[in-house]
Structure 1
Amino acid sequence: MEKAVKSQIGVSSRLSVAPMMDWTDRHCRYLHRLLSNEALLYTEMVTSPALVRGGALHLLDHDQSEHPVALQLGGSDPAELAKAARLGAAAGYDEINLNCGCPSDRVQSGAFGAVLMKSPDLVADCVAAMCAAVDVEVTVKCRIGVDDQDPQAVLPVFLDRIAEAGCERVTIHARKAWLKGLSPKENRDIPPLDYDIVHQMKAAFPQLHISLNGGVASLDEALPHLERGLDGIMIGRAAYHQPSDILSNADPLIYGTGTAADPVVVVGQMLSYIDDQMVKGARLHQITRHMLGLFAGRPGARNWRRVLSEGASRPGADTQLVATALEKVTGIAA
């Protein structure tokens, strides 16, 4: 059974939506799952101290419909990460991912994220401890290097260590991270992309399932990487800001299954979810903020965004506002 689950999530990771702080929360993931039955979804990064020492188990909440869904952990203490992984697996996540790529000051001060690229032996210890603690797959998301490191020298060593520790699947953000001098936002854009080294790593480590992350903004850009032999593509901001372009077309184009999801239908499917979540205390804008890009590039998209942006935070706002916004796109009263 375990091998079957790992095999299936490996297939799903042919396309994944990157973990993005403040964006890929449970409401976002519910929407994304309506757009694609197949793509692998990731949580925002959750720190192991928050789970193990802080008892913040609410951070693990998710809807069963989100599967396949992976929990991304941030941390650098093998024993604590093992406990956090165990909590994630018990909560039902299909994969536990270790963040070795985030360059923010907050994660640097906690000695995890991209700074771990400097400590491959520690990362290997973390991976080994997590693998020993759970039956679900343990994976790693990393950069090609940090600061003055030579990716050609350090990345093969890093991959070799984590593979020996039990990691079979890794996502590589094809940029270096500069831990000093660049903000997290700048680290997403300024360091040059090096796709070739990711392809080189696939050739050097054929046993590893390797996905590429960074700069891919459309399925048309993703497909050539898959055709060249990479196992998966992870898309971040484009999947969030243009979810219909990326995710609604993913199933037929990337997986060869089903048909493209209709965003108008998806909005209708979201209404009952919104009602249910608002009964539980959610505010409308907490959900609709993830829906603003559903009609990106289509007639009526600006009015859709305007109605939701201006009205969703107002007292008493409910699904009728969403129906009103949808009318701006379809021209049909809901």
Structure 2
Amino acid sequence: MQKSTEKSPAHQGAVSRRFSVAPMMDWTDRHCRFFLRLLSRHALLYTEMVTTGALLKGDRERFLRYDEAEHPLALQLGGSVPAELAACAAFAEQAGYDEVNLNVGCPSDRVQNNMIGACLMAHPTLVADCVKAMLDAVRIPVTVKHRIGINGRDSYAELCDFVGQVHDAGCTRFTVHARIAILEGLSPKENREVPPLRYDIAAQLKRDFPGLEIILNGGIKTLAECRTHLQTFDGVMLGREAYHNPYVLADVDSALYGEKTPPISRADALRAMRPYIARHLADGGAMHHITRHVLGLGQGFNGARRFRQLLSVDVHKTRDPLGLLDQAIGLLEGH
């Protein structure tokens, strides 16, 4: 079952944003999300950003495809035309997504040229119009992920103006990447590292808008940091750390949601991927489409390097991919 138009009991009700994994281009595809879900039952997962053009003019089924196991699951949209975003939000709801999120944080030149991402922070009225159109089109939550500013519009007053206008349009849930975006001269990678983190600005925003749900994003690496930030914010979002060190998610349910069940082991998590990988192979897919997302399991133990080599190098040469997978699972045993 790849998608659904009716929500199963497993994901009915309010979406918890206490812990989420950020939308990341080329990383949080459906294979990655299926894997991350094995590590945490409660984490809210996001798709890669999907543009309105891709859904309206491209292979909509492919872009919306997911496995039922991925819930709770949010679709992130990129766009700036209210009617187009409304139509795509409706597609998300029809496909069974639990939330639709508008990207107002991506700083790349390519999306700027299409009026997508962080450049929209200079146009709060337009973002408000987009959000209102989306809210009018669906019953699922509509959220916004944004920066604390962009170059040339980086004052706290301008940030409050942005959040205030979007809130007046009906949005009550904001994920704040606590850096400004430099829209000229820095690459997307540099924009995730060079502008300083300003958790204090995000915290002030929560104090000044206490009725809003504010989720903090940017630079968070450990669950101890998550617990600290949850004293101020309504939720935390991990990005690169959750991808490069995915086993951090294995303790999320107990540390942040009070679950008593012991965390899944690394070996059991990869073993649970085996039927999924077998189906993908039977459908004509390649194993590295999936195993590239699990390489972060191979850290901090004897054999970790061999584990990563099996699934990143040897995987391209083998005639027995599932046998190779079993070798990799064996290297994880006891770790």
Question: What is the TM-score when the length of structure 1 is the normalising length?
Answer: 0.94
- 2:4 is matched with none
Aligned residue for 1:247, secondary structure, equals helix
- 1:163 is matched with 167
Aligned residue for 1:248, secondary structure, equals helix
- 2:61 is matched with 57
Contact 2:267 2:330 (C-alpha < 8 Å) held by counterparts: no
Aligned residue for 2:53, secondary structure, equals helix
Tell me the amino acid that sits aligned with residue 251 of structure 1: D
Contact 1:284 1:317 (C-alpha < 8 Å) held by counterparts: no
1:34-56 deviations in whole A, cap 9, x for unaligned?
00000000000000111013343
Q: Say if 1:328 and 1:262 are closer, same or farther in 2 by CA, change over 3 A.
A: closer
1:216 aligns with one of 220, 226, 240: 220
Deviation at 1:320, TM superposition (A): 1.1
Contact 1:46 1:73 (C-alpha < 8 Å) held by counterparts: yes
Aligned residue for 2:150, secondary structure, equals coil
- 1:134 is matched with 138
Q: Does 1:146 align with 2:150?
A: yes
Deviation at 1:315, TM superposition (A): 5.6
Tell me the amino acid that sits aligned with residue 203 of structure 1: R
Contact 2:318 2:324 (C-alpha < 8 Å) held by counterparts: no
- 1:253 is matched with 255
Q: Does 1:8 align with 2:14?
A: yes
Deviation at 1:298, TM superposition (A): 2.9
Q: Does 1:242 align with 2:245?
A: yes
The count of aligned residue pairs is: 327
Contact 1:6 1:136 (C-alpha < 8 Å) held by counterparts: no
Please identify, of 71-80 and 211-220, the stretch whose mean Cα deviation from structure 2 is larger: 211-220
Distance 2:125 2:61 in 1: 29
- 1:69 is matched with 73
Distance 1:100 1:298 in 2: 39
- After TM superposition, list the pairs within 5 Å mapping 1:315-334 onto structure 2: 316-330=319-333
- 1:107 is matched with 111
- 1:185 is matched with 189
Deviation at 1:313, TM superposition (A): 2.0
- 1:26 is matched with 30
Deviation at 1:148, TM superposition (A): 2.3
2:276 aligns with one of 268, 273, 276: 273
Tell me the amino acid that sits aligned with residue 133 of structure 2: A
Q: Say if 1:331 and 1:97 are closer, same or farther in 2 by CA, change over 3 A.
A: closer
Tell me the amino acid that sits aligned with residue 238 of structure 2: I
1:274-331 deviations in whole A, cap 9, x for unaligned?
0011112221000000010113223321111011111222363422111112223338
- Structure 2, gaps ≥5 residues long: 1-6
Contact 2:266 2:332 (C-alpha < 8 Å) held by counterparts: no
Deviation at 1:58, TM superposition (A): 0.9
Aligned residue for 1:144, secondary structure, equals strand
Q: Say if 1:166 and 1:7 are closer, same or farther in 2 by CA, change over 3 A.
A: farther
1:86 aligns with one of 67, 90, 93: 90
Contact 2:20 2:44 (C-alpha < 8 Å) held by counterparts: yes
Tell me the amino acid that sits aligned with residue 255 of structure 1: Y
Q: Does 1:119 align with 2:88?
A: no
Contact 2:131 2:142 (C-alpha < 8 Å) held by counterparts: yes
Identity %: 50
- 2:286 is matched with 283
Please identify, of 148-157 and 229-238, the stretch whose mean Cα deviation from structure 2 is larger: 148-157
Q: Say if 1:116 and 1:307 are closer, same or farther in 2 by CA, change over 3 A.
A: same
Aligned residue for 1:97, secondary structure, equals strand
Please identify, of 90-99 and 254-263, the stretch whose mean Cα deviation from structure 2 is larger: 254-263
Contact 1:99 1:114 (C-alpha < 8 Å) held by counterparts: yes
1:157-199 deviations in whole A, cap 9, x for unaligned?
1111111111111100000000001000000000000000111
1:99-157 deviations in whole A, cap 9, x for unaligned?
00000111101011000000000000000000011110000000000012233111111
Q: Does 1:225 align with 2:226?
A: no
Contact 1:78 1:127 (C-alpha < 8 Å) held by counterparts: yes
Aligned residue for 1:290, secondary structure, equals coil
Deviation at 1:84, TM superposition (A): 0.7
